[in-house]
Amino acid sequence: MDYSLSVWIILLPFLAFLITGLAGGRMKAIVSGIIGTASMAIAFVLSIMTAWSYFFASTQGAEGFAAISPINMVWLRFGDTLHIDLGVMLDPISVMMLVVITTVSLMVHIYSIGYMQGESGFARFFACLSLFSFSMLGLVVATNLFQMYMFWELVGLSSYLLIGFYYDRPSAVAASKKAFIVTRFADLGFLLGILLLSFTTGTFDFQTITNPAGPLITQPSSAMFMGASLTTIAVTLIFMGGAGKSAMFPLHIWLPDAMEGPTPVSALIHAATMVVAGVYLVARLFPVYALAAPSALQIVAWVGGFSSLFAAVIACTQTDIKRVLAYSTMSQIGYMMLALGVSGYGGENGLGYMASMFHLFTHAMFKALLFLGAGSVIHAVHSNEMKDMGGLRKFLPITHLTFLIACLAISGIPPFAGFFSKDEILVAAFQHNMPLFVIEYIVAGLTAFYMFRLYYRIFWSDSEHSHDNAHHTPHESPLVMTLPLMFLAVASATVGFLPFHELVTSDHKGFEAVMHWDLASASVLIGVVGIVAATVMYRRSSTLPDRIAEGMKALYTAAYRKFYIDEIYVFVTKRIIFNGISAPVAWFDRHIVDGTMNGIAWLTNAVSYRIRNLQSGQLQWYAFVLVISVIALGVSAFCMIR
């Protein structure tokens, strides 16, 4: 089948960006929305067709699903093998990601037509959305490390533009800067890793680097540095870049603040697509991690595990609904990283890889649904705080139902999608790394707990105040906003049944998935325990949560303050970097570098003042100089001849 149409999946959003970005101001606002949505809809259809054709209609070779590159052109050539290409590569995970990105982006586009209605930057919003979609799509189909890096940076830029969308709000501006700087700092590691990796292999191309029979894996570099091989260091640095983009500890600080952006942005970027770019990066380079640098994989697993626990604890205390969802995202991505970290390569060993990708897929669906639902709630009550909500189930029926489905999915209740993917992760952890399994088991319970705390606080407990006296009776959102909610709810309910173990695996060949009934029931049990606990505490408003918080005062305060990580960062940058390093360097620049320049100028001035008489215009002085010079010449000539 001819896959050359697949390049349009990436180019259509780019065209939409150009049109809405350049001409959006001159059109009616709604036209920009329609252009953006239409281009995304076509891209969605194309990606579904590509996925159908790739996974189900074409014949698998003995090697499983082959990676196809319909387009790959050389862009910059440095040497014989070292060149930067631009192209499209279709392999199981990139095709899967195409489907995910186009689906969620289409839902967000449709939703935004309703949510952003009446805003002054409507056209600009859709232009940035198209730019982001283009960047993310280009990232996932990248054929080589450098192309991925370029689109990585483009994604960061789009995120900056969208978080800082309300640019007249200082908090939004600060948040966008924070996101950009933190991810840029992480990308330093990414770039170093790219350089190291391409240095050892002589190429940027993914297929060459990740070939299990290729030179990188079969003959790893023997150069060692600080006890680790060059390959390990390179992929660890690359993971640092991925950790920044995916908000892993300690580079997570930008994600909660990124909630300053409009809610559709949070749904698209910070739940479903951009933040999973780090996971995608590790998955893309997985053969290198698993076969040539297993110690790096350990780091990936533990960072993921710790981040998920950290985020889950904080999420239990937050009161801003978007921040709860942000920490929930961080926790779920920790799950995905952990699953990759405990995975082996090939067949049943690659269960963690498959589970991670499966969870990425399902998480995109229900997390986008959660954010869009939260947006619907915020749209109704004009506030982000839980204290302004409660009892909304009477006013927002569709939102309520879809939100409930999403919460059940994320808590791992069958038959919703989250159960299948989370269960596979727990099985993989159980088989390979017991301590991490225990941590993740606890986190599963915490996840159910805080998600249902959120659910009950929004839709049930309502003795804080009565909405009848509110200045504005909350009402259900218009159809254009509820339609995506319904679609995503259906998706959250059904995609769990996709046979991922046949389609997306570490070595591209399918394997038999075995149902571990004991672990499955254990995971459902802990989910139910969390739900029950939340129900007891939050279904009706009571003082039980406050009494528990009083009992664990220190832990509660620390969790509420996000464990003071932001304060530590401020301390390090202000005290240590600014005062300790920047100030002396600035002093040096001002006094020594500038001082030298000023000194040279002063010297020139002083000397010229002294010798200004040489050109005084006085005849007799000239004569004197002439005579002296001639005498000097004569004497020197005389001496030379002698």
Dist CA 243 CA 232 (whole Å)? 16
DSSP alpha helix (H) spans, 411-552: 417-432, 434-459, 479-494, 500-503, 517-538, 544-551
- Classified as helix, coil or strand, 292 is helix
> Closer CB to another protein, residue 570 or residue 625?
625
Radius of gyration over alpha carbons of the chain, in Å?
A: 30
**Exposure string over 569-606, b if 16+ CB within 10 A, otherwise e:** eeeeeeeeeeeeeeeeeeeeeeeeeeeeeeeeeeeeee
Choose between 383 and 613: whose C-beta lies nearer to another protein: 613
CB of 621 to another protein, least distance (A): 8
Q: Residue 238's closest CA among 214, 211, 204, 273?
A: 204
CB of 609 to another protein, least distance (A): 18
String of DSSP letters for 434-457? HHHHHHHHHHHHHHHHHHHHHHHH
Smallest distance, another protein to C-beta of residue 577, A: 59
**Residue of 504, 331, 493 lying closest to 415 (CA atoms):** 493
CB of 634 to another protein, least distance (A): 5
Nearer to another protein, 551 or 617 (CB): 617
Nearer to another protein by Cβ, of 593 and 627: the residue is 627
The one-letter code for the residue type at 433 is N
Give whichever of 577 and 631 is closer to another protein, judged by the CB atom: 631
**Residue 612: CB minimum distance to another protein, A:** 14
Task: Return the number of the residue (554 or 641) whose C-beta is nearest another protein.
Answer: 641
Q: Exposed e or buried b for every residue in 269-289, given b needs 16+ CB within 10 A?
A: bbbbbbbbbbbbbbbbbbbbb
Structure tokens at 376: 């619907």
User: By C-beta, is 224 or 623 nearer to another protein?
Assistant: 623
- In the complex with another protein, the residue whose CB is nearer, 521 or 629, is 629
Report the residue number, 1 or 637, with the smaller CB distance to another protein. 637
State the number of CA atoms in the 13 A half-sphere of 374 facing the CB: 31
C-alpha 412/C-alpha 400 separation (Å) is 19
Nearer to another protein, 181 or 625 (CB): 625
CA 451 to CA 370: how far, in whole Å? 10
Q: Which is nearer to another protein, 603 or 633 (CB)?
A: 633
Classify residue 486 by burial, with Cβ atoms within 10 Å: 0-12, 13-18, 19+: middle
Q: How far is the CB of 639 from another protein (least distance, A)?
A: 10
Nearest to 332 by CA among 234, 236, 451, 427: 451
- Closest separation between CB of residue 640 and another protein, Å? 12
- Shortest Cβ 610–another protein spacing (Å): 16
Q: Which H or E run includes 73?
A: strand 68-77
Our CB check for another protein shows the closer of 59 and 616 to be: 616
* Identity of the residue, 195 or 635, whose beta carbon is nearer to another protein in the bound complex: 635
Joined together, the tokens standing for residue 173 give 């501006």
Residue 181 or 628 having the CB closest to another protein: 628
Q: Is the peptide bond before 250 cis (omega within 30 degrees of 0)?
A: yes
CB atoms within 10 A of CB 173: 15
Token duo for residue 202: 């002589």
Please report, as ranges, the residues that interact with another protein according to CB under 8 A. 616-620, 623-624, 627-628, 630-631, 634-635, 638, 642
What single-letter amino acid sits at 199? F
Tokens at 78, concatenated: 């440095």
**What is the torsional sign of CA 451, 454, 455, 461?**
positive
Give dist(CA 494, CA 415) in Å, integer: 8
At which residue do the structure tokens 């100089």 appear? Answer: 625
User: Is there a contact between 42 and 9 (Cβ–Cβ < 8 Å)?
Assistant: no
Beta carbon of residue 614, minimum distance to another protein (angstroms, whole number): 14
Q: How far is the CB of 615 from another protein (least distance, A)?
A: 12
Residue 391: strand pairing partners:
none
Alpha carbons within 13 angstroms on the beta-carbon side of residue 181 total 10
Q: Which residue has the tokens 């991922």?
A: 500
